[in-house]
């Protein structure tokens, strides 16, 4: 089965790509053997649940990953939970929806993420909070390898699904009109879907992306406020059907230890969020796309520590120079590059594609995907320990933050023009 030519445009783009490879390698009897999102390596079991607040499009929508009770019969959560996400990805790929939906359903429809859906929250500790922002054309569920690892290491992670029309698809719930059949939903609610908005003819991309990143930052701050409300014991109405006990989160978040993290467009969102919200004590930008960041941000608007973790194959000089402009003369702002990695080494797509096709479509780099994500996660944990003042053993990876170790370098691999004399 051939990938439609129009789809190649997307795979060459800024966003995390998706391979339509066969579900198993030749000679294999099990797709799971090859296509498995890695489990968390920390001491905690991991659960996840979805939360959508009221107020329609103005509300919050997120997937929460958290330390869970280990004894549970709960099933693993689906990786892509609704067929409309396949439709959104199809639009993004310039594929007919009916074709794309069938392809995605066949190749990744059975993929789950290694977190137990609605598992009981592990009470008795105060956990630091991490807000996560997805990339362009992505959505809340496809960075589960990162979010699950952070939760397994003792973080509560809120992965926001952005409604600025930068996700391939998302939705909010609204009440059905009287004329519509009620049997489809006992709650009388229906999903109103929002799909990715492509650039209009002649539209200037920077203007659109800057407007979107403003909304994205506000959505990250809303998610922060929402989790803190729940932590304080306030009742929150979840528009989604779920038996998760949100009251179990009361007094479980360490409100003095909060960070923000994101990939690509989400990396730009990290920077905007830091500039707008001082409660974010530090940030981690994974292969950040700097185009959306406003010019005003470079004038000392980001005071908090910031770690740039870049892939070897994605970055270019102008993008790196913007990062350096933001971080110049600040020892709490770091940049490292993972050797052999590509832009798609951060989202889960790298784990659900076979080796040959994964490399062909640049979903996999020369480095093993598990090693690449381990480097990124370990550097992130070391950085978070330092700047959130955590009492953990993450400092064993401090050298990675300085770009020291196998398959990591300090700064960038990109050749930059010589600095102009001041």
Q: What is the dihedral of CA 361, 216, 323, 136, to 10 degrees?
A: 10
Q: Which of 50, 91, 287, 348 is catalytic?
A: 287
Whether 422 is covered by a domain: the verdict is: no
Which segments of 135-204 does DSSP mark as H helices, in order? 144-152
Q: Which of 166, 252, 264, 275 is catalytic?
A: 264
Whether the predicted pLDDT of 195 surpasses 70: yes
Residue 77 β-bridge partners: 113
Q: Find the mean pLDDT for residues 356-385.
A: 89
Active site residue 60: no
Whether 339 is covered by a domain: the verdict is: yes
CA distance linking residue 146 with residue 39, whole number of Å: 10
User: What average pLDDT does the structure give for the chain?
Assistant: 88
Of the listed ranges 80-89, 255-264, 378-387, the least confidently predicted one is: 80-89
pLDDT digits (tens, 9 = 90+) for 276-305: 999 999 999 999 999 999 999 998 889 999
Whether 22 is covered by a domain: the verdict is: no
pLDDT digits (tens, 9 = 90+) for 114-163: 999 999 999 999 999 999 999 999 999 999 999 999 999 999 999 999 99
Whether 101 is covered by a domain: the verdict is: yes
Task: Print the domain residue range for 88.
Answer: 36-410
DSSP code at position 142: T
Instruction: Report the CATH number at residue 156.
Output: 3.40.50.1820
Active site residue 378: no
Ranges assigned E (strand) in 306-418: 306-311, 333-338, 408-410
Whether 18 is covered by a domain: the verdict is: no
Whether 378 is covered by a domain: the verdict is: yes
Active site residue 44: no
Whether 85 is covered by a domain: the verdict is: yes
Q: How many domains does the chain have?
A: 1
Q: Which DSSP string corresponds to 278-302?
A: TT--EEEEES---TTS-GGGGTT--
Whether 203 is covered by a domain: the verdict is: yes
What is the pLDDT confidence band of residue 34, given thresholds at 50, 70 and 90? Answer: very low
Q: Which of 343, 376, 378, 387 is catalytic?
A: 343
Q: Which DSSP string corresponds to 17-61?
A: P-----SS-TT-S-HHHHS-PPPP-SSSEEEEEEEE-SSGGGS-E
């Amino acid at each position: 089965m051939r990938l439609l030519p129009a789809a190649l445009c997307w795979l060459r783009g800024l966003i995390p790509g998706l391979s339509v490879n066969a579900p198993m390698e030749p000679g294999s009897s099990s797709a799971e053997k090859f296509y498995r999102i890695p489990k968390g390596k920390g001491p905690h079991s991991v659960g996840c649940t979805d939360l959508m607040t009221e107020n329609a499009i103005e509300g919050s929508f997120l997937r929460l990953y958290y330390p869970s009770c280990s004894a549970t019969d709960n099933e693993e959560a689906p990786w892509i939970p609704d067929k409309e996400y396949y439709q959104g990805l199809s639009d993004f790929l310039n594929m007919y929806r009916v074709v794309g939906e069938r392809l995605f359903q066949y190749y990744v429809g059975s993929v789950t993420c290694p977190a137990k859906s609605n598992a009981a929250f592990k009470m008795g500790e105060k956990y630091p909070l991490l807000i996560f922002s997805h990339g362009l054309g992505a959505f809340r569920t496809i960075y589960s390898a990162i979010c699950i690892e952070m939760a397994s290491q003792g973080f509560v992670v809120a992965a926001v699904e952005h409604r600025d029309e930068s996700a391939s698809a998302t939705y909010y719930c609204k009440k059905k009109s009287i004329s519509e059949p009620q049997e489809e939903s006992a709650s009388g609610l229906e999903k109103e879907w929002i799909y990715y908005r492509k650039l209009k003819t002649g539209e200037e991309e920077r203007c659109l992306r800057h407007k979107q990143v403003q909304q994205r930052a506000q959505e990250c701050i809303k998610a922060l406020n929402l989790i803190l409300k729940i932590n304080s014991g306030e009742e929150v109405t979840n528009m989604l059907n779920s038996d998760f006990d949100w009251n179990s989160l009361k007094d479980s978040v360490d409100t003095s230890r909060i960070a923000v993290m994101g990939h690509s467009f989400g990396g730009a969102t990290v920077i905007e969020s830091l500039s707008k919200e001082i409660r974010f004590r530090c940030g981690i930008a994974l292969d950040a796309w700097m185009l959306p960041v406003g010019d005003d941000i470079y004038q000392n608007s980001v005071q908090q520590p910031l770690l740039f973790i870049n892939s070897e194959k994605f970055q270019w000089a102008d993008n790196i120079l913007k990062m350096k402009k933001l971080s110049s003369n600040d020892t709490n702002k770091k940049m490292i590059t993972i050797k052999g990695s590509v832009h798609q080494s951060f989202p889960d797509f790298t784990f659900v594609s076979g080796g040959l096709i994964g490399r062909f479509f640049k979903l996999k780099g020369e480095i093993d995907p598990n090693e690449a994500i381990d480097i990124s996660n370990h550097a992130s944990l070391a950085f978070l320990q330092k700047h959130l003042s955590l009492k953990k053993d993450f400092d064993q990876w401090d050298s990675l933050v300085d770009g020291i170790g196998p398959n990591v370098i300090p700064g960038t691999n990109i050749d930059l023009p010589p600095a102009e004399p001041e």
